[in-house]
Structure 1
């Protein structure tokens, strides 16, 4: 009986392994040491689709491969073991774990989804499935799985905490709050419960409630990390004195706590307490792993106070000890502040292409050359960089085109921008500069088409939205869409007077004079020295019957109109007509 069973076992194993079956029994070469004996002990007669001996054989092979970290091989053997016994759940649970170890996350997700269709009550596998979904950034799907687990295990605090944290992270505090209420109702001293409730209250804008729960959590289990989190809350809420006291306490408790000292310096800077910030920076330098970085921060603080010579002296000492590109770039900026362009140029030229600051240093070099009226050299460097292709950015073309414009070579400027657009067809900055050049050349329709393309590429490009919206308002077309565009632009740039001017003009075209006046008055406050805005305000005042205010606006516009005889003449004519009306 045993011989027949062993033969059936070995034949099925070899068929699964892709081997030619032998008429004799299994050979020792087929198994790892000790596997045959284990298989023989568990061998039973084949019963339907289940062959426990075959399943055990492959399981042991798989386990042996897994222990040797041969995961591909282990996966293959476990899958064959399941063919012998598809009901072996302990083997099934190995498959997705191996897939994850092999970074085959999508396959693990699919496998788990299929498995849970036939095994819906397997909580452990559902937990793993939810984690895989999170890894795939499928947060809503993962949340659904945790909800299912929570419904089946309503009193499992660990699951409730996990689900509440997911709701908070997903920006759904209203879903998290009842779960945390249940947790704290069961255990009023729950450490994690109070931390999550603190974060929930913070998300709701309830700073006092958040502080209360942080303090309860700290009372239960103090940690410097949690106090640092509370300190961040104080800073966000503008409660700088409380933040300073908290960080001061952390520093007094542990003088080596570099993070707390940095945070304390940050608070002092927010309080504009530069003296105490500087004192703490000097203390930090004695414990910091990278004291040169602290020196660089001290130099920045002196620069903020406009003590440029002191800042330069510190940075030069840093560079004697270590060639830090960041410090070299900052030294160049400081030298520019002192008007020492040649020294600044020397520093930026010492920053190599491998440094993160290289791009900024190169563009600063071009700006210095422009200040020195060395346009030919600047243009040569830009063209060389474009040809080399090592610094891949559309800004190279923009700067080169601007230099050509400075020399009055609009034809070359346009050519450069077109080459840039050919290299970077979706670069909105390149397209915008090209659109402005077309507008200055008088080709308004072509400029408008370019601006509309920018909006297609980047719907939140405020300048393009304003350009198109104002153009439509000026020509009295698409006024409703023009209003939508300009309102979107204002949301993006609320302090821009020119966009408020466009808003006033579109209201004017829509016949909404009160709203037009309000928008244009706001525009004048934001950009008081712009003649065009004052001219628009005068037109709207005039349309509203406010002749005296219109006359004042036109007179101010006239004073600000320079080097444009045509505009001066046009505004003077308006003033002349209104003054005649006033005289009557």
Structure 2
């Protein structure tokens, strides 16, 4: 599903979205808001929380501002937005703005919110009336069009529910409108027409797994399991690691009951996910989160929506909100492994490795492949390289065809634990599968240079990696450090300065630049860089190296740093 959404999201016209944070929200004097100082302080606090994506906190501040300073159109507008972001759609529907100071885009969103709330309480006729016609325009017209057939079905309007939504040039509406029509045809027992839509959605060479799962479920419900299994195999040929497709095929092969078609509320929730992903791809975080909250009002068990909400909360720095979202998928759900992965890494990033490892180990004990990979990753991140390599060896042995990513990860664990011959063999095997993969080129090339082996070939490999990914501070650092290791200190300074510009807060890159400055005689700048490293929370090895250089006044003894790994 993510591949599909990433492919179509850039085609959606989003640039004029008036609900983007910071652009539309501007300072307004307290006298114009009818507020006193205390109320205005609450308003400003609410505005700050809103800009940071903390909807629940913002809603509390706006409620206080209203109590202390009185209601206003602008305050109602902000409270409406905060309620949506906090997931209180019932309250947001009651606060939907219609005053003269509210923007047209927000008024249109208000109608969508009210329609979703009506659908959530099974008032399809009223919802359909709100969604019909042209009253909901850009940027919410596509969402209204996708929801309208489901509202019509709730209202008992069978013919209205079967009208496929159309918007010229909008591939999100085109794709999910046809998917919805297929489901609604099936609901109306017009099976031939439903199958025509399902076939159209899966007819390409690389069908998305969401369409494959939908059509496969339909085939299973029609008693056509062999065809469903063949379809799942076709999907797995494109996406062999898809947990959803793997589970679907296993269910069909075992002859277990077919998945039921979506309920009306579930179908309506599904069509909101793609517009949400498109908004997030366009960096419209608030609007993307709003659509996800609407989807979850209709279907609280929509796991992919919870994962996306968690990602937004984490990016906004709301760790607790992210963890709550990641905790929603239950064991057995296709999204459970991914959710546990994100949850474990949130604890790792919060400097709670024991909690992260315990959580990852429990998930890995289920035998889930992705959970075991996550556990191996976390073992490596916590310097438990031998255990990580052993776990990766088991996964590699079980994999039918060689997977370069598994070989790369085991190679890193081998290299970090001092088992270079095994590491080198894994890196070379991985490169045979993916000869142009920049991470592989960077890691093996750098390590060869650091070991004084295959120097000309290794430098070329690192140069290719940087050419592929010139904005990677880690890779530019590797190239600069390669020149340092080869004795070209002037070139090393040039490249390492560029790497620091790309990743100013990385202690290892700053340490490298200090060493290069020292070698070209820029001693004061070198000491400045080393002192800066100590302010960037370096690991114990880098800190000891810097402390020794500063204490001795003799500069670097020689390069010994390990190449950097993506995600570390």
- Measured against the shorter chain, the TM-score band is 0.3 to 0.5
TM-score by length of 1: 0.43
- Higher RCO (C-alpha 8 Å, min separation 6): 2
Larger radius of gyration: 1
